[in-house]
């Protein structure tokens, strides 16, 4: 169970005020706030002094230590068998572009890849551009705009003997819909295709197990799970070794470092480790992975309660239309709404003046908004809860929406 008062006390940003209002960060889908332990970990690296990777002096050894610790932490977070399966980069988008270029070198004209309309554009455009470069066919699988779900069978039906890759999201950053990525992976592997999972939006809400999913690659970003702006990709070690990375000549020829262009942000890597440790502190157990599982169970319980409260309240407001699953089954607590007679931008601005931070537009979920026929009309208002969101904040939001 989440101790909401103790949890919120660890996040300095939650003390922000906007005029006479307490700030309410309900824009978690666009990025989470960070606990003091993450801030201190990053400050410690910068204050103590850090150099580039070298075992020859103390500051260089500190950089090696920060890198190794972060790989182990993320391996625990994702259920990876080895830290060598974890690659770091500036963000998920830049890493996906890098992997799309490398993987596309294995494709031939006439091959085929699959993307879905439910995905964030960062897990669509890199693959589409790579396919165009190689003369490869692209199929975009639609989602059901009535149920707001993606049927794994619809993806399986699109797979052909020439399919080389399936790119799919774990959870929609626009609608909150969960996707059965394990079923899609099974179908793709039966045809010999690789699977690249975008788990950026799922990572703050639920425990990820790349072994259970069976996927070949899985991407997350620490700024979504209470850390700094650093992206990371899990890759099956044999694929990380066999694929040719776009890199400079002096870079390592093997291991995850061959995929990490340039010098990494060592202070951010320390923050990544601290963010994983923060999540594990929410649970109990003998290992970090066990603690993470318990912590995520507590997060899920709290978020389901908040989400159910919001869905029940918003359904009673006549002027508001919800786009998404109307219960907490099969979704995370990310909600998109339309307010009759007001643009998404005006709603977000009005709430912002009251210290309620929400997002408007398409949030890079271009395929979602195109499918709903809303891309050219300003999109929707997006609201997202995280484990530090309180019941009072949900009630305050509902009150503000009812008086628009």
The whole-angstrom separation of Cα 167 and Cα 123 is 6
Residues 151 and 330 sit within 8 Å (Cβ to Cβ)? no
Q: Are residues 31 and 45 in the same domain?
A: no
Query: Domain total for the chain?
Result: 2
Residues 344 and 380 sit within 8 Å (Cβ to Cβ)? yes
Residues 237 and 82 sit within 8 Å (Cβ to Cβ)? yes
Residue that is last in its domain, among 280, 309, 340: 280
Q: Are residues 243 and 369 in the same domain?
A: no
pLDDT tens digit sequence for 182-219: 999 999 999 999 999 999 999 999 999 999 999 999 99
Say yes or no to pLDDT of 79 above 90.
yes
* CATH number (domain holding residue 316): 3.90.1150.10
Q: Are residues 192 and 326 in the same domain?
A: no
Q: Are residues 185 and 53 in the same domain?
A: yes
Q: Are residues 261 and 304 in the same domain?
A: no
Q: Are residues 131 and 96 in the same domain?
A: yes
Domain that holds residue 326: 4-35+294-402
Q: Are residues 132 and 258 in the same domain?
A: yes
Band the pLDDT of 47: cuts 50, 70, 90: very high
**So what's the pLDDT on residue 377?**
87
Band the pLDDT of 376: cuts 50, 70, 90: confident
Say yes or no to pLDDT of 223 above 90.
yes
Q: Are residues 239 and 312 in the same domain?
A: no
The pLDDT mean for the chain works out to 96
Q: Are residues 31 and 51 in the same domain?
A: no
Residue that is last in its domain, among 231, 258, 280: 280
Q: Are residues 113 and 241 in the same domain?
A: yes
* CATH number (domain holding residue 81): 3.40.640.10
Residue 112 lies in a domain: yes
Tokens representing 222 are: 């620490």
Task: Tell me what the mean pLDDT of segment 37-59 comes to.
Answer: 94
- DSSP 3-state of 44: helix
The whole-angstrom separation of Cα 30 and Cα 20 is 25
Residues 154 and 165 sit within 8 Å (Cβ to Cβ)? no
Residues 73 and 79 sit within 8 Å (Cβ to Cβ)? no
The DSSP output letter for 142 is: P
Q: Are residues 87 and 109 in the same domain?
A: yes
Tokens representing 274 are: 């601290």
pLDDT tens digit sequence for 240-267: 999 999 999 988 899 999 999 989 999 9
**So what's the pLDDT on residue 310?**
98
Residue 314 lies in a domain: yes
pLDDT tens digit sequence for 268-316: 999 999 999 999 999 999 999 999 999 999 999 999 999 999 999 999 9
Residue 286 lies in a domain: no
Cβ neighbours for 159, distance < 8 A, ≥ 6 positions apart: 114, 166, 187, 188, 190, 191, 193
Say yes or no to pLDDT of 1 above 90.
no
Residue that is last in its domain, among 220, 254, 280: 280
**So what's the pLDDT on residue 373?**
94
The whole-angstrom separation of Cα 24 and Cα 14 is 7
Residue 285 lies in a domain: no
Q: Are residues 266 and 341 in the same domain?
A: no
Residues 94 and 265 sit within 8 Å (Cβ to Cβ)? no
Range list of H helices, 84-124: 92-104
Task: Tell me what the mean pLDDT of segment 225-253 comes to.
Answer: 95
Task: Tell me what the mean pLDDT of segment 160-186 comes to.
Answer: 98
Residue 303 lies in a domain: yes
Say yes or no to pLDDT of 37 above 90.
yes
The whole-angstrom separation of Cα 211 and Cα 126 is 25
pLDDT tens digit sequence for 130-140: 999 999 999 99
For the chain, the farthest-separated pair of C-alpha atoms sits apart, in whole angstroms, at 67
């Amino acid at each position: 169970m989440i101790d909401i008062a103790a949890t919120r006390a660890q996040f300095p940003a939650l003390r922000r005020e906007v005029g006479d209002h307490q700030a309410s960060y309900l824009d978690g889908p666009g990025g989470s706030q960070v606990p003091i332990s993450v801030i201190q970990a990053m400050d410690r690296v910068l204050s103590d002094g850090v150099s580039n990777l070298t075992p020859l002096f103390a500051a260089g050894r500190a950089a090696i230590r920060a890198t190794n610790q972060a790989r182990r932490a993320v391996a625990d977070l994702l259920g990876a068998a080895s830290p060598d399966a974890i690659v770091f980069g500036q963000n998920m988008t830049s890493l996906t572009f890098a992997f799309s270029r490398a993987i596309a070198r294995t494709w031939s004209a006439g091959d085929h890849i699959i993307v879905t309309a439910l995905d964030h554009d960062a897990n669509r455009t890199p693959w589409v551009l790579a396919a165009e470069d190689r003369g490869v066919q692209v199929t975009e699988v639609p989602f059901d705009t009535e149920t707001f779900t993606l049927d794994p069978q619809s993806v399986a039906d699109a797979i052909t003997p020439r399919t080389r890759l399936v790119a799919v999201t774990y959870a929609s950053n626009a609608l909150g819909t969960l996707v059965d990525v394990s079923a899609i992976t099974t179908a793709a592997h039966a045809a010999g295709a690789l699977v690249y999972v975008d788990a950026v939006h799922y990572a703050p809400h639920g425990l990820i197990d790349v072994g259970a999913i069976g996927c070949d690659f899985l991407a997350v970003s620490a700024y979504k799970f209470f850390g700094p702006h650093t992206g990371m990709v899990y890759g099956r070690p044999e694929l990380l070794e066999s694929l040719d990375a776009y890199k400079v000549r002096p870079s390592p020829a093997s291991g995850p470092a061959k995929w990490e262009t340039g010098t990494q942000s060592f202070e951010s890597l320390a923050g990544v480790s601290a963010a994983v440790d923060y999540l594990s502190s929410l649970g109990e157990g003998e290992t970090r992975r066990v603690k993470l599982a318990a912590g995520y169970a507590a997060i899920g319980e709290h978020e389901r309660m908040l989400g159910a409260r919001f869905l029940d309240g918003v359904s009673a407001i006549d002027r508001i239309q919800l786009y998404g699953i109307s219960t907490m089954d099969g979704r995370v607590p990310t909600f998109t709404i339309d307010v009759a007679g007001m643009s998404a931008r005006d709603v977000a601005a009005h709430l912002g003046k009251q210290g309620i931070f929400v997002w408007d537009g398409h949030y890079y979920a271009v395929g979602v908004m195109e499918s709903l026929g809303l891309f050219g009309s300003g999109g929707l208002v997006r609201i997202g809860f995280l484990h530090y969101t309180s019941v009072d904040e949900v009630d305050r939001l509902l009150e503000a929406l009812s008086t628009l």
